[in-house]
A and B are shown apart, each in its own frame.
Chain A
Amino acid sequence: MVNRILVGAHYGLKDWIIQRATAIVMAVYTLLFLVVVGAVGPDSFEAWRAVFANGFMKFATFLFLVSVFYHAWIGIRDIWMDYVKPDGLRLLLMIATATVLVGYAGWAFQILWRI
């Protein structure tokens, strides 16, 4: 048996930082989105599409969505680790979570760059 100490400084520090960095990206985008939509008031297809056709908004939206997916990965993985004890099931749920999130990232790219 390997006597490894799984607690202590730096264990999981990288994820802890990423969770907060992605949170800040999402918070800033949320404010940006509310300001832009509040100012433009897009009430037609053309106006709504124009918001995301703008190069900066398109890039910012993609950055936001990638942050959502990475943030969700860490959060949902923590939920599986807290409540699901059988190793096999936990691993299966983690793989399923990671798989759909990578898929969503591809889907998000497709949605935005088709505009």
Chain B
Amino acid sequence: MAEMAVKKRRPKNLDLPTIRLPLPGILSIIHRISGAALFLLLPFLLWLLQSSLASPESYAGARAVVSHPLAKIVLLGLIWFYMHHFCAGIRYLLLDLHKGIELEAARLSSKIVFAVSIALTLIIGAKVLW
């Protein structure tokens, strides 16, 4: 059975610029990109945690770094990536439980993920960064 499935030729289109990705597909690729970006920023985040906890001097240094306008933009992007990955991840957990797998429900839930993750990013960004 499995071998038959592998041998069967299926039509495939991998010409990326011609693919019109629906919203759940956009959500999915941002889930991947945000995960990769969060992984790449791990050393910076660990350094920030270390500095903020080690001594009053290093704490002040960490605060100075995060209050730089450029760092604030990076951190706001990071918060959005985290919140998107978080909300989209919860959506995937629900899909695993067969909740919302119909087309309409899946489209609606991806809209909710974008709305909630952007709202949370703005709220947290406003509280922590500005």
Contacts and interface: CB of A to CB of B under 8 A. Distances in A.
19 contacts: A5-B2, A7-B2, A7-B5, A23-B93, A24-B93, A45-B52, A45-B56, A45-B59, A45-B60, A49-B53, A49-B59, A68-B42, A72-B35, A75-B32, A75-B35, A75-B39, A79-B36, A111-B50, A115-B53
A30 B124 CA distance: 13
Contacts of A114: 53-54
Contacts of B52: 45, 48
A8 interface: yes
Q: State the majority secondary structure of interface residues on A.
A: helix
Contacts of A111: 46, 49-50, 53
Interface of A: 5, 7-8, 20, 23-24, 26-27, 30, 45, 48-49, 52, 68, 72, 75-76, 79, 100, 104, 107-108, 111-112, 114-115
Q: Which 7 residue pairs spanning A and B have beta carbons closest together?
A: A45-B59, A111-B50, A45-B56, A5-B2, A72-B39, A75-B35, A8-B2
A104 B40 CA distance: 12
Contacts of B35: 72, 75-76
Q: State the majority secondary structure of interface residues on B.
A: helix
Interface of B: 2-3, 5-6, 32, 35-36, 38-39, 42-43, 46, 49-50, 52-56, 59-60, 86, 89-90, 93, 96
A76 B36 contact: yes
Nearest to B1: A8
B90 A20 contact: no
